[in-house]
Amino acid sequence: MESQIATDEQINDPGLFSPISVGPLNISHRVVLAPLTRMRTVSGSVPNDLMVKYYVQRSTPGGFLIAEATQVSSRGNGYFNSPGIFTDEQETGWKTLVEAVHAKGSLIFLQLYHAGRVSHSSLQPDDGLPLGPSVVPHQNVAGTPNGWEATTLNRMLEVDEIKETVKEFGKATARARAAGFDGVELHGANGYLVDQFLQNGSNKRTDSYGGSIENRSRFLLEVVEEMVNNWSGNRVAVRLSPSGRFNDMSDSDPLALFSYVTEQLNKFGLAYLHVIEPRVVGSYMEKEGIEPVASIHLRKIFKGRIIAAGGFDRDGAAAIIKKGHADLVAFGRHFIANPDLPYRYRHGLPLNPYDRETFYGGNEIGYLDYPFFQED
């Protein structure tokens, strides 16, 4: 339970409420909005007025928001009514949203993604098969026009298609920049295309994109390079879930894999590395007897800012910053239910509970109607 009355120490908390730089940006506090797919575009994957209001509600002067996973091409879609950034109309929709967030003084990155095998033919152009590094049967669902449905087994990407997909991330980066975003975060986490290449449970390729850790990391590194070439290193970030099992992921040696990836990322001078901690019960690899990999490990390797996420409350977030394993903390579910989360944390106020039923899809209910804290 959150306490009602904040101590002076909490109000002046040097961890959560002190400023910090991220790339060229000056951020005023460390309570970050995690990227959260909400499936509210209503049609055409174009950001709309509902979304503008949602992000504006969560904007604070000098605060930092990471906008939801946004597909870089129509083939990258895994969730009906999730946004894209590959058409002029989508770019324009984002531009309006970014301007509104900036007017509130907040900074905002866009998370770029490709769902890869976590998709369904009803979401694909021409009802085609989803794409993935290899064809490995898996237990996943996609958010289709008819609700949650088992994914359609993907086909394997040809090498020329891999190169084309890398380019799509570059084009999306250029569009995000044109839309006015402060930067872009590559979604390399949670079992989507980039992660599918990284982990050997889903990548069985025998060419230069599969096999060794170096080969499995090639796709991610080519994508990051392309993104950096379309903007600059300090405007690009990467999110990883080194211990995540979500979307049926597995790897035989995550510590070696993610240590290598992190080391390689140093050469780009990224804005930050975003690490999903092995804290969310039931979604990490510990059960298989594999030591979970967390920011505590990657901190020793990565020469830049680290955002940690996953299962944090105010005190847990303050603690990880104090210990030095991370610089900022991203909040998902609590930020969904509490548009004024930074204010509540700063003042030790109680939180609204979240409603899972309205996480994905629908209208303003469970999206725009969570109350701000009001003094009695």
Active site residues: 192
Pair type for strands 183-187 and 236-240: parallel
Stretch that binds ligand FNR, among 215-223, 318-326, 328-336, 340-348 (CB under 6 A): 328-336
Least distance CB 335 / ligand FNR (angstroms): 7
Among 52, 69, 166, 307, binds ligand FNR (CB under 6 A): 69
Is 54 a binder of ligand FNR (CB under 6 A)? no
**Backbone CA torsion sign across 212, 162, 248, 292:** positive
Judged by beta carbon, residue 215 or residue 354, the one nearer ligand FNR is 354
Stretch that binds ligand FNR, among 163-171, 230-238, 261-269, 325-333 (CB under 6 A): 325-333
Among 31, 72, 157, 276, binds ligand FNR (CB under 6 A): 276
Beta-carbon contacts of residue 321 (< 8 Å; ≥ 6 apart): 15, 16, 30, 327, 328, 329
Judged by beta carbon, residue 27 or residue 65, the one nearer ligand FNR is 65
Q: Would you give the binding string for ligand FNR spanning residues 282-321, x where CB under 6 A is met? A: ---------------------------xxxx---------
Which pair of structure tokens corresponds to residue 298?
A: 């990657």
Which pair of structure tokens corresponds to residue 103?
A: 């007017």
Q: What are phi and psi of 23, to 5 degrees?
A: 55, -135
Is 331 a binder of ligand FNR (CB under 6 A)? yes
Least distance CB 280 / ligand FNR (angstroms): 6
Among 15, 16, 23, 35, binds ligand FNR (CB under 6 A): 35
Torsion angle (degrees, nearest 10) of CA 364, 359, 22, 95: -40
CA atoms within 13 A on the CB side of 325: 18
Which pair of structure tokens corresponds to residue 75?
A: 């083939």
Site for ligand FNR in 186-245 (CB under 6 A): 187, 189-190, 239
Q: Are 149 and 121 in contact (CB under 8 A)?
A: no
CA–CA separation, 218 and 199 (whole Å): 12
Least distance CB 71 / ligand FNR (angstroms): 11
Stretch that binds ligand FNR, among 32-40, 144-152, 258-266, 343-351 (CB under 6 A): 32-40
- Helix ranges (H only) for 232-332 are 254-265, 295-298, 314-323
Residues of the shown chain interacting with ligand FNR in the complex, contacts defined by CB under 6 A: 34-37, 68-69, 111, 187, 189-190, 239, 276, 280, 309-312, 331-334, 359
